[in-house]
Structure 1
């Protein structure tokens, strides 16, 4: 662990890059101050349109397939609030991939007045990336912003993972494949478990969850502790039902102490009090359920997100929690999660653990324009298979998206668990998307759980409809049939 940490620090120091003032190209609304500060001013009478400031070209080739942070110090004065959250004070990278698709990365919700502070964002640089353009300035707003260009840093967020082999005890290596669903987010009855067994499912990912989609929650640790105890009481009952119906249970701490920040990052990656309490929570769970044969694995973090450096990153905190669990429960497998919301691309840099019986989790919602269409608001319908977001998607495209996970599996001999995958009820071709995903999971011998079972109607295979707000109960439909065909392999 310490060797890996030092290698990470050495790599960061060697690869950190800062640009000089001569590399920035300024437009008419910006000027370079003697202190190497670029000041950008847009008067209100300009109409608050467009993007102005300074820009420079960045060579992306050294950073391919690496998570890279871009940071700069800036301040703002009376910047008007833009119509879109991604505009305002602008610190942005723009580039195109080999298919001609455009990508933009930048922090959002930057307006008003604030003193000097660091602005940052993270990019996982594509394998085909050549160069990009970095922008600083103001977009679709009025006011003044200043940027300390000598403070610009471009640095790898994490080191690449090692090539150590994953280790599994014979009892874990020989376990039968598991195929199932995410649980309802609230309480549920024995009927829920019995119906899942009747469908042929043999895995339930039990969500310990609240405040989903909200920010700055779960900050009161005493209150969080009382809530957690209540959920663990319910889990104890669910495990009894699971034993009766021969269903394995992944214990998923879906809502961690400290919650998420506005940018989606988990607070516990930056605030030690929440990190320590998180480890204590897993010690509590392990003490209570140590030796319970129905537990498929301790699912450490749901969809971690970390976009800036910290003293203990998303992987190191999971490793600490896992080692604490192993002091109490030496036998139950432990499930590690990839960064960037459990994305397939984060497996490019996900390390393998030296601990025994570690399962690695991925979630599959790519392309998001298809799987989540209509979930966050109205938009143009996207059909699978077909052209989505300027790219053709079919089974082979999905296979390519999942290739980093497959490479990780082969490189480490690791067990893979697809903790979530889905497509909205009304998404045209959802049944084919689910079938193609399941076929790939089966080909690679990955365990999987569909999101979700009797949770929200928009993901339900027991509902049908062509748009949000028009769903009706459905006892049989193509999406449900795709799922049931997958469950048949359990028999």
Structure 2
């Protein structure tokens, strides 16, 4: 990291200022909503908390705290305080507390509680519970985040012991705003720019793994392209072997360099066979909310990756972090006082985008949802002036169906009832409706980075589930990559439906045939793309000072070539007197992305394209 910054101190200064602006800007919105340290006189505390008979004032984490002492597992010893909704609607808040337990035995739900209880306008209740534990444990800090939806009409903070026995202490309850409301909708007439024609249909593959047998080979990638007809793969730098420490590893930089060498090999293979690659970070992005140093390291890693692949057209996208928040509550250290030097995911993603765009102005950047979610409710869309930003989720709902692992014999089927809810294609559409609404509201492309169902789910459920998912993705024009290809065989479409067997049937499974049938549609897109590209060719691309545009296969004798910036302003115009190769001086153009248009003698556009101007 230091070597990278020392080579370009100006870029380091820009990065530092950008990060500081996000940190300071973020801290300005962290206004206090509620704070209770129980240091007031008892009557004042009792005015806020009721019922008053359920607790006593005792020693706390610092000074006084509240003690709930239950000798009966069916007793409700919980007290509540009202929280004002003033300037909270649409915002995300963080709740934190200090707690201690002694001989706590949970008897029911929710047991020991620290929770926000929200009442929607149409009735019912919504809960934001901080996960607690039983037994005896010393003082510790806990925290969670919660979005106040537009339909919430009242909010209260509830703490205590419910259906449990033992002693439970609470202190330093704190609530503060950590995110402003989402921005307004964009103009619905704005086209959704996917950065490419048609749909990317492909699979996830593993570049590295704890099991070398699950690492993708050149022959498998060639087969995937030439035989299966997939047009893309999603592949992560790093992998599960680096969970859960990732960014905290002392030898992170050396590991990253080693992994990039392996990735270079995959890039060369895919360049040869035509597969496009979505390259991301997994394992090596874990711990991204642990400290400012970890976030700085992540930014540095992406600057390094962008420098490496900015000139390579095989890599079509950068996936910033696989499933942000691996095995940790988000953010697990959001306890009072909150460390405002640690950016939340929306702010960190924006810093990463700006860092990459300073190096690679064109390649797609993928921002994933939080906590394995299939909604983007908490992801503020990047400024629309920054091109080629894609928003992604992983679709595994309902997980009781898709993740039937372990010793229990699989019992959930699809379509079918799971936890008293009937799941079918209509239900999947309902689950994905907020994602579609986000796309329509902000006019952004959506990408399903992972989706799958364990192959041994009963009654051919995997086929049914995968089919319905793909049909929805196709209807919505979403790119997608199945999880996964020749890694763990529980996800394999080539293996049988047998429970933990390792059988490859003599004929292709219906799941494999299903994927292949959709991948075949990529052929028509390739043919269309080739036809489109045949009208004109610009090279080299990216451009330094001189560029050439071929017109020798265009059906015209004279015309013009015009070059525009991304705001539509004319920068260069040249007359074309005959077919051939036209040399253009591009030295006067500043760095960025440009469009060119070729017109014949009557002003009809017969060729167009895009190129990047770099200084090199």
TM-score by length of 1: 0.81
Is the aligned partner of 1:191 residue 2:219?
A: yes
Moved more, 415-424 or 211-220: 211-220
Q: 1:228 aligns with which of 244, 256, 280?
A: 256
Between 157-166 and 408-417, report the one with greater CA deviation.
157-166
- In the alignment, what sits opposite 1:345? 375
Residue pairs, 1:295-310, within 5 angstroms: 295-305=315-325, 306-307=330-331, 308=334, 310=340
Aligned counterpart, 1:482: 514
Are 2:182 and 1:160 equivalent residues in the alignment? yes
Q: Is the 8 A contact 2:246 2:283 kept in 1?
A: no
Partner SS for 1:113: strand
Partner in structure 2 of residue 181 of structure 1: 203
Against the structure 1 CA distance between its residues 284 and 205, is the aligned structure 2 distance closer, same or farther, given a 3 Å change threshold? same
- Please tell me whether residue 112 in structure 1 is matched to residue 111 in structure 2: no
Q: Aligned partners of 2:502 and 2:153: how far apart in 1? A: 45
1:396 aligns with 2:426: yes
1:132-151 matched pairs, under 5 angstroms: 135-138=158-161, 143-148=166-171, 151=173
Paired with 2:221 and 2:91, the residues of 1 have a C-alpha distance of 42
Partner of 1:293: 313
Q: Deviations over 1:146-200 (max 9, x none)?
A: 1237x2426465642454579x999964434210011125332111201211112
C-alpha displacement at 1:421, in angstroms? Answer: 0.8
Change beyond 3 A, Cα 1:458–1:58: farther
2:281·2:320 contact (CA, 8 Å) conserved in 1? yes
Structure 1, 434-443 or 208-217: larger mean CA deviation: 208-217
Equivalent runs, 1:364-443 vs 2, <5 Å: 364-372=395-403, 374-375=404-405, 378=408, 381-428=411-458, 429-443=461-475
> What SS does structure 2 have at the residue aligned with 1:328?
coil
Match of 2:491? 459
Deviates more, 1:286-295 or 1:325-334: 325-334
Any conservation in 1 of the 2:104–2:168 contact (CA below 8 Å)?
no
Q: Which residue of 2 aligns with 1:90?
A: 113
Contact 1:29–1:42 (Cα < 8 Å) also in 2: no
How far off is 1:273 after superposition?
A: 0.7
Q: CA RMSD in A?
A: 3.9
Equivalent residues, number: 469
Report 1:7-156 matches (<5 A): 13=31, 16-17=33-34, 21-22=46-47, 24-26=49-51, 30-32=55-57, 37-42=65-70, 49=73, 52-56=76-80, 67-71=92-96, 73-79=97-103, 89-93=112-116, 105-109=129-133, 111-115=135-139, 117-124=140-147, 135-138=158-161, 143-148=166-171, 151-153=173-175, 155=177
Looking at structure 2, the residues matched to 57 and 174 of structure 1 have their Cα atoms a distance apart, in angstroms, of 53
CA deviation vs aligned residue, 1:463-491 (integer Å, no higher than 9, x gap): 22353x34533452232233223222212
Query: Contact conserved, 1:27 with 1:53, CA < 8 A, in 2?
Result: no
Q: Is the 8 A contact 2:78 2:162 kept in 1?
A: no
Distance 1:36 1:465, change over 3 A: same
Matched, 1:219 2:248: yes
Is the aligned partner of 1:323 residue 2:346? Answer: no
Q: Distance in 2 between matches of 1:489 and 1:65?
A: 42
Residue 454 of structure 1: CA displacement?
1.1
Q: Which has the higher contact order (CA 8 A, sep 6+)?
A: 1
Q: What is the distance in 2 between the residues matched to 1:55 and 1:380?
A: 42
What is the match of residue 207 of structure 1? Answer: 236
Are the equivalent residues in 2 in contact too, given 1:69–1:155 (CA < 8 A)?
yes
CA contact (8 A) 1:67 1:123 kept: yes
Report SS of the residue matched to 1:345: coil
When residues 231 and 295 of structure 1 are mapped into structure 2, their CA distance, relative to the original with a 3 A threshold, is same
1:188–1:7 CA distance, 2 compared to 1 (3 A): closer
Distance between the aligned counterparts of 2:315 and 2:138, measured in 1? 49
Checking the alignment, whether the CA contact within 8 Å between 2:191 and 2:443 is kept in structure 1 is no
Q: In structure 2, how many angstroms separate the alpha carbons of the residues matched to 1:459 and 1:390?
A: 26
Change in CA separation of 1:476 and 1:451 when aligned onto 2, cut-off 3 Å: same
Note closer, same or farther for the CA distance 1:161–1:483 as it changes in structure 2 (3 Å cut): farther
Deviation at 1:4, TM superposition (A): 8.9
Distance 2:262 2:254 in 1: 13
Unaligned runs of 5+ in 1: 260-266
TM-score w.r.t. length of structure 2: 0.66
State whether residues 416 and 447 of structure 1, in contact with CA within 8 Å, keep that contact through their aligned partners in structure 2: yes
Whether the 8 Å contact between 2:350 and 2:382 is mirrored in structure 1 is no
Q: Distance in 1 between matches of 2:406 and 2:75?
A: 27
- CA deviations on 1:427-468 (whole Å, 9 max, x unpaired) are 23221211111111111111100111111111111222353x
- Alignment partner of 1:273: what SS? helix
Q: Which structure dedicates a bigger proportion of its chain to helix?
A: 1
Deviation at 1:50, TM superposition (A): 5.5
Residue 515 of structure 2 aligns to a residue in which SS? helix
CA contact (8 A) 2:222 2:273 kept: yes
Q: Give the match for residue 262 of structure 1.
A: none
Unmatched 5+ stretches in structure 2? 1-17, 37-44, 210-214, 524-616
